[in-house]
Structure 1
């Protein structure tokens, strides 16, 4: 058993009951328990780990990426519906397929169902409040020390996939906790319909105080009493309050065109409720549980399950595609494109405030707007990041001065690199080169370029070198903030060549010391993937290196590249990439070495506690 300081315990055991769905080689069965919420063994859970964790070295993982996605820090949670369990319907197949994409996937039994402990109060049964408590336990587990001890890393609850009644619990939970992706499979919109369903099932259910339902419990199908309070908790919920869910959350709703339980009007209800951050998918010809109707012609040539066409296979394919990293990036871009001021409701800004078509500056965006762990907001309109802006149009220069109030630019390139690449005119530009203009030793040089070329997941070793050699520069920039020089009337821009690596490191430190969570920092870093699409000069230069990549890697460059299975074309793509996971791995390394962002500022940048708090004050509202 693994227990952490937050009193979250994980007890890995052999799968205790015979099942028609045996554990895969990359799956574990365990109980998750929080002593505040659970009085028995806790929640029964099956964790599906990415198959790529079987490869011990980074080179092996990179070489096998076409087969198995690189292990992510993202967890997908699968939750079941009314009187169901963790292995029902599409859940085991979805867990398997998503794990192959690099996700960690957890499927659980709510209390009172499957293999989990009994409800806290049998007279109340499985209430929505109890479901939310169970989801909170999972949320706390994935970022806990217990998770780190079990898996070697903490995770982020990236996605919840819920079916039927579980959808209501998911949305109620997400009113309080930010989750980037919520997937609603056949969820009820008009909760009162659940009361009507209960009346059809058992006309005297209210007078009787409940009804019996046949379900799986500890490996056996049995009749379980459903108290009246359990049904009322879900049947009287006001779904309009789900609109309070964080605006950064994107919702996918999947309904079936012929569902006999949930009316198709529920799809319209959620489409309207989450307008602007909602996707709708209608699956044809199947019932509430994604099984084909009688005499289904099976035009999609799907497999059969229980003698019926299994549309769960189709659903799984759609959900895997939906959660591909490029689609996740596009949704983060859309949900964070506009910055709404936490202090002024009418103050709405465009994060990408200088479009390339107008400015000829790539990757120009506002660093602010993100919410911090303490509930404040990173000040918008005071800091901007970008790629080399030396070809900015006259209109862009005027706009930066008049509308963005930029009066200072920090150029993070090496001195010679800045002279060669050009410097933006008409501004106070201070060249504060990262790496302190130092010439790296042959060993450091090889390590640096191996980190940049072989795989984006190798970036942390390159970023660690840059960070270590840039401490005086970094301190100087934050001294500038500390002295009160940065506000909406005196904004700054910082950039390197691509606005990706050195700029990305500084952006991480700004957001990190402000209190933004590591998941959001990593997503913000990934936005550069979109921002660099216009950087034709740099792309052409990198792609033109060809076989020179081997030489830069050192005397054994070809052997090293072969071990990773990468070609010069792939190395060019790697050096231009800005993957979420690359930044997440770097932050892991950073926190492992320095403990926290605050400690880094104390011990490495030599600011005292009062100064750090003052920096935070200037960066947030």
Structure 2
């Protein structure tokens, strides 16, 4: 009788100087036919403060591209990651400077301040702008990665929460991950991202908002993602419908993304039983 050996691949990875760094792989599909491939797509907050040991970790993970969703104003304020041999930073901003006008910011902040049910209003704005940027990531995966490759990519914004979380939602939904799992994975940011209290207080003062409002903005509520998925289905029919319309992927490209990102589970009859403990 063969012996089964379990292998656990850590989801959270300590990349010194980077918050919220995790592997999106390992989550099972809704129908149990497979799981999301590990060590191919990572998500995190911005990479500006990465330390030398963190750079070494990215090289060990064979990261070849980091898709940076931050806008130009964010980059001007925060800076960019240091140059890392073999790793290309891909500017992928979906917001322009006009989107940082007082009026535009007010709309987005108001949505966040409303709590989990207000987040989808903000996420709808992001999704309406993000299609071409998300498309470029899908195409990169198809062109530069394979099931035999060890190369990987990073997707990130400032906190690795909103713009990043929406991309992961789309990728998971396309591959057949259950909506409950998608929302729970999104909510893991509550564990992986934080800001010191004095920075939250400074943000509250600059926004003329309460500290609780700012904490809400920085959170990743499960319900927010659940309702965002419902919004996508209402507007586009399905997550796949969004990807077809806004990202412009063809049937063949969608098929290839699934083939790349899903590790199938094949059962043999003898593996469905275990011996009695005599």
TM-score (norm 2): 0.84
Is the contact made by 1:379 and 1:620 (CA closer than 8 Å) also made in structure 2? Answer: yes
Aligned to 2:130: 470
Is the contact made by 1:415 and 1:431 (CA closer than 8 Å) also made in structure 2? Answer: no
Match of 1:386 among 44, 47, 55: 44
Match of 1:603 among 228, 231, 245: 245
Match of 1:523 among 176, 184, 192: 184
More strand by share: 1
Q: Where do 1:188-199 residues align within 5 Å?
A: none
Is the contact made by 2:200 and 2:211 (CA closer than 8 Å) also made in structure 1? Answer: no
Is the contact made by 1:484 and 1:618 (CA closer than 8 Å) also made in structure 2? Answer: no
Is the contact made by 1:353 and 1:364 (CA closer than 8 Å) also made in structure 2? Answer: yes
* Residues 509 and 438 of structure 1: CA distance in aligned 2, closer, same or farther (over 3 Å): farther
Alpha-carbon deviation of 1:430? Answer: 0.8
Aligned to 2:272: none
**Runs of 5+ in structure 2 lacking a partner?**
264-278
Match of 1:418 among 54, 57, 75: 75
The 3-state SS of whatever aligns with 1:606 is coil
The 3-state SS of whatever aligns with 2:43 is strand
**How far apart, in 2, do the equivalents of 1:394 and 1:442 lie?**
38
Aligned to 1:398: 56
Is the contact made by 1:435 and 1:467 (CA closer than 8 Å) also made in structure 2? Answer: no
**How far apart, in 2, do the equivalents of 1:486 and 1:466 lie?**
29
Alpha-carbon deviation of 1:604? Answer: 2.1
**How far apart, in 1, do the equivalents of 2:102 and 2:37 lie?**
42
Aligned to 1:110: none
1:364 pairs with 2:6: no
Alpha-carbon deviation of 1:545? Answer: 2.8
Is the contact made by 2:72 and 2:96 (CA closer than 8 Å) also made in structure 1? Answer: no
Alpha-carbon deviation of 1:611? Answer: 1.2
Aligned to 1:494: 155
The 3-state SS of whatever aligns with 2:35 is coil
Is the contact made by 1:528 and 1:578 (CA closer than 8 Å) also made in structure 2? Answer: yes
Q: Deviations over 1:537-569 (max 9, x none)?
A: xx643421334434xxxxxxxxxxxxxxxx611
**How far apart, in 2, do the equivalents of 1:345 and 1:400 lie?**
28
Aligned to 1:512: 173
**How far apart, in 2, do the equivalents of 1:439 and 1:548 lie?**
18
Aligned to 1:452: 112
Q: Where do 1:419-438 residues align within 5 Å?
A: 419-425=76-82, 426=84, 427-435=87-95, 438=98
Alpha-carbon deviation of 1:438? Answer: 4.7
**How far apart, in 1, do the equivalents of 2:5 and 2:118 lie?**
42
More contact order relative to length (CA 8 Å, sep ≥ 6):
2
Alpha-carbon deviation of 1:457? Answer: 2.5
* Residues 388 and 540 of structure 1: CA distance in aligned 2, closer, same or farther (over 3 Å): farther
* Residues 532 and 502 of structure 1: CA distance in aligned 2, closer, same or farther (over 3 Å): same
Q: Deviations over 1:73-109 (max 9, x none)?
A: xxxxxxxxxxxxxxxxxxxxxxxxxxxxxxxxxxxxx
Match of 2:232 among 590, 603, 606: 590
The 3-state SS of whatever aligns with 1:384 is strand
**How far apart, in 1, do the equivalents of 2:73 and 2:205 lie?**
25
Q: Deviations over 1:490-546 (max 9, x none)?
A: 10011111111111111111111111011000000110001013x43xx64342133
* Residues 471 and 460 of structure 1: CA distance in aligned 2, closer, same or farther (over 3 Å): same
Is the contact made by 1:364 and 1:384 (CA closer than 8 Å) also made in structure 2? Answer: yes
**How far apart, in 2, do the equivalents of 1:498 and 1:575 lie?**
11
Alpha-carbon deviation of 1:437? Answer: 5.3
The 3-state SS of whatever aligns with 1:409 is strand
Is the contact made by 1:518 and 1:584 (CA closer than 8 Å) also made in structure 2? Answer: yes
Alpha-carbon deviation of 1:419? Answer: 3.4
Is the contact made by 1:352 and 1:365 (CA closer than 8 Å) also made in structure 2? Answer: yes
Aligned to 1:373: 30
Larger Rg: 1
**How far apart, in 1, do the equivalents of 2:157 and 2:110 lie?**
20
Is the contact made by 2:132 and 2:246 (CA closer than 8 Å) also made in structure 1? Answer: no
* Residues 430 and 601 of structure 1: CA distance in aligned 2, closer, same or farther (over 3 Å): same
The 3-state SS of whatever aligns with 2:67 is strand
TM-score (norm 1): 0.39
Is the contact made by 1:400 and 1:406 (CA closer than 8 Å) also made in structure 2? Answer: yes
Aligned to 2:269: none
Alpha-carbon deviation of 1:443? Answer: 5.5
What is the CA RMSD across the aligned residues, in angstroms? Answer: 2.1
Is the contact made by 1:433 and 1:473 (CA closer than 8 Å) also made in structure 2? Answer: yes
Q: Deviations over 1:274-332 (max 9, x none)?
A: xxxxxxxxxxxxxxxxxxxxxxxxxxxxxxxxxxxxxxxxxxxxxxxxxxxxxxxxxxx
Alpha-carbon deviation of 1:406? Answer: 0.9
**How far apart, in 2, do the equivalents of 1:456 and 1:598 lie?**
24
